[in-house]
Every structure is written in structure tokens, then in C-alpha cells.
Structure 1
């Protein structure tokens, strides 16, 4: 008989995290372009100093100083004898020596490469620009390793440079506002994995989020009081620039403009009472391209906003115009007929052609979503593709520069492995060398319908680190298992920066359980994920901007590690049975079977969790069926038809959602049941 004892919860965690207990020297993320190791160890001690040679600037001194503090925090070693790295710190024999040739410019295509070499006496980082040197410092922090004698930098020789120049994160702050501190900590996370563009989606139907001194009604009427002052924007831009990150603003037009039209309804296509949209989705309100007074308004608005963002690019959105307000308005229909426009997209192209010289006048390059990729649009714009690869590759084949976001929509709760294999230039695209040069890179997109400042980190990290690697590392770096191994360690490194993707969970579970004892809830939460794609907000009618985002689906996170590990254990066991795997599977199934009793006790004081009662019960029944199957497999005992039918009925029931979540261990248990039937 199989031993039927429960493994204590604390020990259970070790089953999941065991693979992460490896030498951190081989856990870099993103993986460098070239890396060679040697047996040397450069010891870190209280005498460790950082020196800078060449032509450094204030940014590098500040980042080198931050490196010292982070290294001290990571190792617990007192490095306070060097409070700040300054120009006087130029000893070429310092333990960490940085050689930099010039200050890097925050622009597309700047040199971000670096060399890093370690021996037993010194680490030397050499870079053409300070931005490259900053990347080298991030790599060096990831290299910190330990043994029985303490902490050290392992012996390596690295040459590193990015595969793509544009490695971005879109942070939507319009649907749900994100305070400055949330933006800053995510900039720290981006810098840690060498991302270099923060794309801020700053207005939508739900709000306009930047102070305008030219059009103050935008923040007074169209923001619910949640917006960035111009000083806030300058602070964010400076904070990003300090880390070598550009900030690209998006002010979406002509659709998704309910907020703007609430403040200035005279620019709407249809005369109606406009108020901020409280639901999420695609709506009909749109600006009137036939109104000549609209363009001076846009010129003043974009001129003011462009002055706050020094980057060369401004995003105009251009997406998800339904065309209904244009097609139902007599004077707009007449305008279209008079100008030979066969459909509303022709009118939108006309609008974009009117907007382009305005953007150029501000000194910026216009970019937009792939809806703006229409005949007649000049080729000095940038297309950001979100609807599929076809438009993406068609745009570069026609000579447009492009950025890929399709396949990088992290708000859709898909696993890191899905994003990781989404390469911007697969062989199947059949692109020429010149066409590949037009692919600038990619952006992960964090739309905020289903997140707040409390939960947004958990939807961005750590999965976005896998996207960062895909955009930085060579295409040949594509082993999914190794990616997950390194992602575990990267997640801890990100938490050390202050990101809340792990830390938010316990407080929210205590709030939901109304108790300090959250073990039963945690057992359930560790095997569920929120509904994926757009299924959680069914019909875009379940949630508004005021809905609570502190429920079961919010504490559950994407790409849960425990179900992934359990599934691999089951696959391995079915391929080659072993007592150890059998024991691990049995212990997990026993925990899940017994947990429902304790979860029902939690429900007595936590009505908010009743939506998870079905999930908990189904997990218990499913695990019980899995235990029966495992016993049959162990005993090599034939199952009867009634047991199989009943077990498969349990499997079907366990696939039903509860609390807008799904159990993630159904498939591996179904495999056990079917194996028992064979």
C-alpha cells in the first residue's frame, strides 16, 4: 500500500521551490549574448569598492551608488565606507571597476552593449555608453553567488548586447489610475531585466490622466481627480531616464475619447451628454474629423503634452473605432461621400493624415496601433501590432517600422511559456534582412481593466521578464524549462526591488479570510488562476471602475508554479513510474482532498469567499478520484466502468469556473484516471 500521510505545508513548498536552489551564477535573465565561465571567485567583503574611469556622467555615478546599496542589502555586508560613488572614486584596482567612454543618449538604437570580466581580484565592466554600463551592473547583481565562505562574484567573461532596440512595457494608467510610486517600482523592475521603454497609456474613455494647463477641464472634469501633475510627469521621466529607460506617451484619438469629449463635447461627432465611462470595452463616441476647430485644439494639446516627454515618439492610439457615430451622422456621411470615402476607415486615415503634420510640428515621430496601417499613410510612422502577426509582417514588408505586441498581452493571464516562444522574427515569417531591420522590437502590454495599484505588479511580474529575455537574448535561447528555473530566482530579485507581485498576496488573503489563518485558502489559491483572455469580464458588463478587485480572482495569480510542477510530476510518473514520484503525487492529492473541510470553516467568517466554495469542493472530489486512480495504478488493478464514468463526471465538473477562476490541476488528475482505466 502507498503511504497515506500528509506532507506538512512548509515542506510542501520545498517541492515547488527546490529547482530554484541553484547557483545564481547560472541564473541570469535575460541570458547574455556570449558568456564563458572560469573557476575564479572574486570575494565580496567590507573592503569592496566601486570605481569609475573614462568619461562618466552623473547618471552613472548615481546608478553605481545604487548598485553599492543593493549589493549591501543582498549580501548583508556593510559597504558603508563608500557611501556614494563619486568622481574621486577612480582607483583602477577597485574590486569593481567601470570603464565608460561617454554618456548615452535616451534614443532608439543607442549603444547598450557592455563587456564584463571577472577574476579572483576584480570585476571589470567596459561599455561605450553609461547605459551599457548600467546594464552590466544589473548583470553583476544577478551574478552574486555564495558558498560556505561567503559571497562572491563567479568567474565569467561576458559580451552582451540586445537583439532588439525597443524592449517595452505598456502601462495603462487610464482605465485604473496608477500612482507615481507604482510607476517607479515597475521602472526598477524593467531596468533589472534590461527593458528600455515605458509606454504610458494616459487617456481613455475612463479618464484623462495628465494635468493640462492649456485645457484645465481635462483634469477638472475628465479625471475623477486622479491624474499626474506636470511635475509628477517630469519626476517619472527623470526616474526612468536615470535607469536608461525612455518614456513614450500615448494620447489616444479619435476613438476611446469619451473623457476628452466629456470635457470638450464640442469636438464630438454626435451631440449628446458625455460623462466618463464606468465600464470597460469598446464604445462609439469619437471625435469629429470634419470639425475644423478640432485640429487647432489637438495641436495645442499635443504641443503641451509633447513638451513634458522628451522622447522622440508620441503614440496617437488610433484603435477600436467602431465607426458607428460617423456612419450615423448626416454631416459626416455627406463629408465622406463628397471626398469619395467608401468606409469609415478611409475617414480615419484622413484624420491621421491631418494629425501627422501636427505631431511632426512638435518635433515628434507618430506611432499608433495597427488600425492606422492603411493605404496612403506616410512611411515615417511606426506601427504597433496587436491584432495579429499578419498586419505586423505586412507593415514591415511594405516598408514601415513596426513593434510587436501581439502575443505579449500580459493582462490576458497566459503563461510565461506562451509569451516566451512568441518571437518577433520567426523563420516562418520569410522576411528579408532589410525587412527584419524594420522590426524595432516589442512591448508587453498591461491593460488595467482588471487590476488596481494593489494587484498590477502580480500581473506584470515575473512573466514580463520572459518577454524581456525574448527581446534581448539570442533567438537560440529558448529552453522553456530553463526559463522557468531562472524566472523563479528573477522573481525573488524583483521582490527585493520593492515590487509587490509576491508580497501583496498574504495581506489580501488575510483580508478575504478575515483571519490570520489563511492556510486553507492558500492551498486553494495555489492551484487556481483567473479566467484567461477576456472571459473574466464577461460581455464587458461584470465590472466597472468602482468594482472590488480584492476577490478570489485577484489573489489568484497567472501561471501558477505548483500546478505546472505537479503536471510534470504526473507526466514523469506515467512515463516511468517511481516510488518517489508516486509518493509526491499521493501527498499532494491527499492535501487537496482534505482541504475542503478546513476551507468550509473559513467560509463561516468570510462570505466573500463563498464564490470559491464550488472550486474547493470540486478540488476535493477530483483529488479523491485521483487517489483512487493512483491506488489502482499502484495495485495494477482493473477499474470498473461505473468508477470510470463517475470519475470523468467529477473531472467535467472540476472544469467549471468559480469566482471567475479555474482549477489548474484538472488535466494531470484526468491523466491518472485515464491511465488507471487502461
Structure 2
């Protein structure tokens, strides 16, 4: 029989995998993320004892030994068992083996490689089998997620898991150009990606605010275009190897012909208009653009790309191509004359001409061009990849026209939308109007971490844990869509990700302590847990933010998923449906807490001027809570002004409990 537990399909079988209670199944498998393709639940538990060891056999790449050793240390740190095996090494002589990893062949860190695995947990041994070591590494992550406890200690539940990804391209784009991201930031996020089975890091390296790679052929690019913050060749190689050791491809983005100010600081002669140029300090779309009519542009790009190509073994090379408004092209007489002479009807045709020239360079370097969906043009050949960010339509059009594509529209985690919004975006929903051949051209998707409003302190908290929900969408079956179950498991994975050095939880408390100048952070925590930052570019509507602005205030402490607000909203919906006293009591308790919190915030703000801008918001929450309590007590009231004030953004955040309180008032 089959039992649906949330979104996870549990298959009950007899024999070694005998009948198991539904309760046991729920407890043992409630931590899996992404959800595997198939889980067969057995009867019994594999006990993890102090003599637990790991052995590897078959013909794997040597990276599996590092992965197995990291698995062992993480297991040891979670259990505190003082496991005796220091490292997993080839041909070890072990008295007994707890986990045997059998790999048929070395995997290649390339698009389309086999990443499947089978995990068999019995009462006396654990077997992990895979075609490649890449699949085995995914299986190790699943096994760690299965770690459970009872009164007798730690165990893995008896089960058999057969798993493979739905999409071969499961990526995260990290923008290191606007705000530079040091090596440790990149590495810990690669570890996070591996933990949720993502396999592509897209590294955005040039922008109006910075050229972030050492360039030996044209050193003024990084010397004048980076403020001294860039990656050396050796650091690039180190990151690429670090990623490959975790089964993750790394490919670069050098954004041209727009978003090119940093290119032009050291080489203004490449611009469509005369310089001088300066690094941009603000955010937005800027006009400096490479000159498609200037042959030196192609000479420089040929040299730069030829230098960069060997640093990134992956065949894909992102050229950006987005948001080229073309005003400098329109204002340059020589460019307009060139367009007329070459029968280029508009700026789109001119950009296609430019991209065709770039494609020749990349083809010579054995690279495949990928660009944002603006590069989709009838003049472009079919051997490029379209990266869809403005809407699904461009992805569908690309697939129908014969282009490979990936989706990022709906996965823009910098827009501060809740995980549920991203989770329900599917690159290939069952009702998409593509035939089989066209669907095969959609390779997957990427979460995009644009860095206008993140720093090294906050970037982890903007990526995680929401990106784990996107990782599940790209790995698990289309039918896995239970939002409540996703959130439950997301709370679990968020804590597990901390062991990799990610700072998404601890830095929040650190920033609150800074804002309160070391005072009790609980009142600020109460407020922060019911607000979310302004979304979809509203935060910087007044263009006040710049590269060195403070990203240390309430909108930086607040998350995209206000946990207390989400819990309260669900409780209100349940109460209005059933009228249960228990729900009413829980709602009342939260409203009373919010009503009392404003006085505490006033005390904090008296000694912390940076918090004073939050007081109108705190006051609005108090009044909203009092209105909610009056509604529960059946008192008549006119709360329109309270509701409207609570809906207004303050300090670049918004309260997330207004609609629920309004429901209580209007019940």
C-alpha cells in the first residue's frame, strides 16, 4: 500500500522492509529535503554505535573520500560519539563497516551526469550504491538528514531510497560584483548548496560597481574597476576545485555590453561615449555601454575571455546581455551611422550583432554562450542557452524556437518574497504548452542572489533557508507541492545548515544586539518576527541606498518569511473556521504579547537612536493587537484608522499580521 505523508510518498513493503506504523514513518522521514523520488519504509532501526566506520569500494573519483570524511565528522559532531575513524581512505582495513559506499565509476562535474543513488538501511548495515561518486555524495546528505533519536540513542530508520534529480541544472547565482563576497562566503554557500543537492554555482563577476577578477592581459580592469576587491586567478581555481569536490559546477558571468561601467573605468576608449567613467556607487540601470562598432572592444574581449576560460573548466560562459537600454548608442553619431550602413534596424539588432561577434570568440574557446533572455533574437544561432528572468514566456519561446533554456523568473530571492512563492514556481508544470522535444530543452533553474541589498553579514540569511525550497522544486517530483509541509521541513534544514558555517540564524541575533547596544533584544525580536522587508525593488524606491550604506537596520534583521506572522495567520484562519477555544487562547496570547511590546521598544529606542524610526511601526502593532483583543471580547469598535495605519510601510518594512487581525474584527 502507499501512504501519503505530507508530500512524501512512503511505500510500505514486506520482508526486510516489513510493515511500519505511519507514526514511525512520519517521525523518521519528516526531515528530508529535497524529498526523494521513492522511499520504501522498513521495520527496525540501524543503531549508530561508537565503532561506526565508513568504507568505499568500486571505481570512484577520489573526491568521494573527502565527502565521506566530511560526512563522518558531521555525524560525529551531531552525535558526540567520538567515532574512531579520522579519515575515510582507499583500501582501509576495518574490523567492521557501518556504511559501505559502492561507486561504479568516477563522475564528471558536467551537465547531464548521472546523480542517482540507492540507499539501503538495514538493522545491521547501511549500503549506499551509485553509478557515480556525485550520486553517492547526494546519498550521504540524505543519510545525514535521516539521523534520528529515541530513548536508546541515535539511529537511521530501516528503509530503501531510490533517488535521482528531476532537472539536471539546479543552480544558485551569487552576485559578487555589486557587493564583493569574500572566499569564505562563497565556500560556505557551496557547502549549503551541496547539502540540498544543488549542482551549479553561477558567479556574477562584473557589474557597474565592480570588475571582480584579476585580469593579467588588461590589468587596469581590476586595478581601477574593483576598489581593490577582486579574486586572483589562484582564488578562482581554489573555488572551482572546492565546488567540484562537492559535485558543483562553477561558471562565470562577465556582463556585456551593458552593466559595463567597471570595464570602462580603466578603459574608457571601449565605451560608446567618451569618458571618463567612475565606479557606480548606487543601484539601478546605468547607461555606460561597450561600443559594438569598435574593433578594440572585440580585441579586449577576446583577450579577457581567453584568459578567463581556462579558470572555469565548465563549458558554459554567461555574457549577461540584460537591460541594455541603448541610450548611449542612440546618442553616438558614429554608432547610428554604423547601424545604417549595416542595415541594423534597432538596438536589438545591434546587440544581436555584438552577441554574434562574442559567440565567435567563445566558440573558439570551446565555450557555450548563455545569456539573459534579452539575447533571444532571430539572428542568433540555436547553440546558445537562454536564461529566462523577465518571465516564463521567454523560456517557452526559446524552447519552441529550438534553444536550450533555464528559468530564474520566480526564483529571485533578492526580492524578499516568501519561500512559498518560489516553491510553487515550476520550470515545467504539467500544463505547460510544450511538446516532449521542447520540454527536453528546459534544463532546470537558478535562484538568483543579486547583492544590491546584502553584505557579507546578511547574504546567508537572504539565501538560506529559502533556497532549500527552490532546491527541492528542482530535484523532487512535480507533485511535491505541500506548502505547509515544506515550511515544517524548512525549519529543520535551516538548523542543519548552520553546522556548515552558514550565518543565516546567528547573524540575526548579532545584528539585533548591535541595534540595541547590548541590551535585551527580545522586544526587537518580537517586532522583527512579524514584519518583512519591502519587496520587489520597493526598498530603494527613493534611491537612497548606495554601496556603503548601512545594511544593519530593521529591514536587514527582518526575514522574507516572518515566522510568528505566518503562525498567527494560520491560527486565525483555523479559529474562524472552527471556533475552537484552544485557537482563541493562542491568538489572544500573541495579541497580548504585541500589545505589551511597544512600551519595551520605547525603552530600547531611548538608548538606541537607530531604533527610533521603528517606533511608529511598534505603536501600530500595539494598536492593531488591542483591536484584535477587543474583537475577541466582542467589543464594538471603529478600527478603520488602526488598520490603515498598520498597513503603511515604516522603516522599509511591513507588518504581516494586518489581514488576519482585520478578519477577526470583521468576523
Structure-2-length-normalised TM-score? 0.95
Equivalence for 1:409: 412
Measure the CA separation in 1 of the matches of 2:91 and 2:104: 17
Paired position in structure 1 for 2:12: none
Q: 2:243–2:250: 8 Å Cα contact kept in structure 1? A: yes
Alignment of 1:101-180 (within 5 A): 101-180=104-183
Mapping 1:114-263, distance limit 5 Å: 114-263=117-266
CA distance in 2, matches of 1:88, 1:517: 55
Distance (whole Å) between structure 2 residues aligned to residue 54 and residue 322 of structure 1: 55
Counterpart CA distance in 1 for 2:427 and 2:316 is: 21
- Match for 2:604 among 602, 618, 623? 602
Residue 661 in 1 paired to residue 619 in 2? no
> 1:272, CA displacement in angstroms?
2.3
- 1:26 CA displacement: 2.5
Match of 2:48 in 1: 44
Verify: 1:591 aligned to 2:569, yes or no.
no
Q: Which residue of 2 aligns with 1:611?
A: 613
Q: Deviating runs (4+, > 3 A) in structure 1?
A: 90-93
How far apart, CA to CA, are the structure 2 residues paired with 1:370 and 1:553? 31
Q: Secondary structure at the match of 1:425?
A: coil
- CA RMSD in angstroms comes to 1.2
Q: Which residue of 1 aligns with 2:463?
A: 460
Quote the residue 1:13 is aligned against: none
Instruction: Kindly state the Cα deviation for residue 430 of structure 1 after the two structures are TM-superposed.
Output: 1.4
Q: Give the C-alpha shift of residue 91 in structure 1.
A: 5.6
Residues 29-40 of structure 1 mapped to structure 2, 5 A cutoff: 29-40=33-44
The answer to whether structure 1 residue 334 and structure 2 residue 337 are counterparts is yes
Range with bigger deviation, 516-525 or 276-285:
516-525
Partners in 2 of 1:287 and 1:483 — Cα distance? 45
Partner SS for 1:604? helix
Match 1:476 to one of 471, 479, 482: 479
Give, in angstroms, the shift of residue 339 of structure 1.
1.3
What does the per-residue CA deviation read over 1:174-233, in whole Å, with 9 as the maximum and x for residues that have no partner?
000001000000000000000000000001000000111111111210000111111111
- Whether contact under 8 Å (2:519, 2:604) holds in the other structure is no
Distance across 2 between alignment mates of 1:534 and 1:140:
40
Give me the whole-angstrom Cα distance separating, in 1, the residues matched to 2:315 and 2:404.
Answer: 14
Name structure 2 gaps, 5 residues minimum: 1-24
| Cα shift at 1:428 | 3.1
Is contact 1:53-1:92 (8 Å) kept? no
Q: Distance in 2 between matches of 1:204 and 1:92?
A: 56
Relative distance call for 1:610 and 1:337 in structure 2 (3 A) is same
Residue 377 of structure 1 corresponds to 380
CA contact (8 A) 2:205 2:252 kept: yes
Q: Could you say what secondary structure the match of 1:253 adopts?
A: coil
In 2: Cα distance, 1:451 partner to 1:629 partner: 40
CA apart distance, 1:76: 1.2
Q: Relative to 1, partners in 2 of residues 1:589 and 1:565: Cα closer, same or farther, differing over 3 Å?
A: same
Per the alignment, residue 489 of structure 1 pairs with 492
1:54 aligns with 2:46: no
Alignment CA distance shift 1:92-1:384 (3 Å): farther
Instruction: Name the SS for the 1:300 alignment partner.
Output: helix
Q: 2:640 aligns with which of 648, 657, 671?
A: 648
The separation in 1 between residues aligned to 2:29 and 2:43, in whole angstroms, is 12
Q: Which residue of structure 1 aligns with residue 421 of structure 2?
A: 418
By how many angstroms is 1:22 displaced?
A: 7.4
Partner of 2:267: 264
Q: Deviations over 1:134-154 (max 9, x none)?
A: 000000000000000000011
Distance in 2 (CA, whole Å) between partners of 1:435 and 1:383 is: 13
| Higher mean C-alpha deviation, range 85-94 or range 133-142 | 85-94
Deviation at 1:93, TM superposition (A): 5.5
State the partner residue of 1:23.
27
Aligned to 2:72: 68
Contact 2:209 2:261 in 1 (8 A): yes
Q: 1 CA distance for matches of 2:27 and 2:227?
A: 49
TM-aligned CA deviation for residue 90 of structure 1: 6.4
**SS of corresponding position for 2:255:** strand
1:11 counterpart residue number: none
Query: How far apart, CA to CA, are the structure 2 residues paired with 1:310 and 1:611?
Result: 49
What aligned pairs does 1:382-401 form with structure 2 within 5 A after superposition?
Answer: 382-401=385-404
Given that residues 25 and 144 in structure 1 are in contact (C-alpha distance below 8 angstroms), is that contact kept between their aligned partners in structure 2?
no
Structure having greater relative contact order (Cα 8 Å, sep ≥ 6): 1
Mapped partners of 2:51, 2:662: distance in 1: 58
Report the equivalent of 2:4.
Answer: none
Asked if structure 1 preserves the Cα contact closer than 8 Å seen for 2:60 and 2:107, the reply is: no
Which deviations, in whole Å up to 9, do the C-alpha atoms of 1:599-632 show, x marking residues without a partner?
Answer: 0000111101111111100000000000000111
Q: Distance in 2 between matches of 1:230 and 1:92?
A: 45
Q: Per the alignment, do residues 22 and 560 of structure 1 end up closer, same or farther by CA in structure 2, a change over 3 Å counting?
A: farther
Q: Measure, in 2, the Cα distance between the counterparts of 1:162 and 1:28.
A: 14
Contact 2:207-2:260 at 8 Å conserved across structures: yes
Counterpart CA distance in 2 for 1:69 and 1:93 is: 18
The answer as to 2:85 corresponding to 1:82 is yes
Cα distance in 2, alignment partners of residues 549 and 306 from structure 1: 35
Among 627, 630, 639, the residue aligned to 2:629: 627
Kept in 2: contact 1:93–1:122 (CA 8 A)? no
Q: Is the 8 A contact 1:51 1:92 kept in 2?
A: no
Alpha-carbon contact 1:113-1:161 (below 8 Å) kept: yes
Q: Determine the structure 1 residue equivalent to 2:570.
A: 568
Query: Distance between the aligned counterparts of 2:94 and 2:406, measured in 1?
Result: 43
Asked if the contact 2:621–2:646 (Cα under 8 Å) also holds between the matched residues in 1, the reply is yes
Deviation at 1:38, TM superposition (A): 1.2
Per mean C-alpha deviation after superposition, the further-off stretch among 53-62 and 92-101 is 92-101
Distance 1:309 1:57 in 2: 20
Pairing partner for 1:317 from 316, 320, 326: 320
Q: How far off its partner does 1:39 sit?
A: 1.8
Shift of 1:516: 3.2
Name the counterpart of 1:99.
102
2:449 to 430, 435, 446: 446
Match of 1:436 in 2: 439
SS of the equivalent of 1:374 reads: coil
Provide the TM-score with structure 1 as the length reference. Answer: 0.94
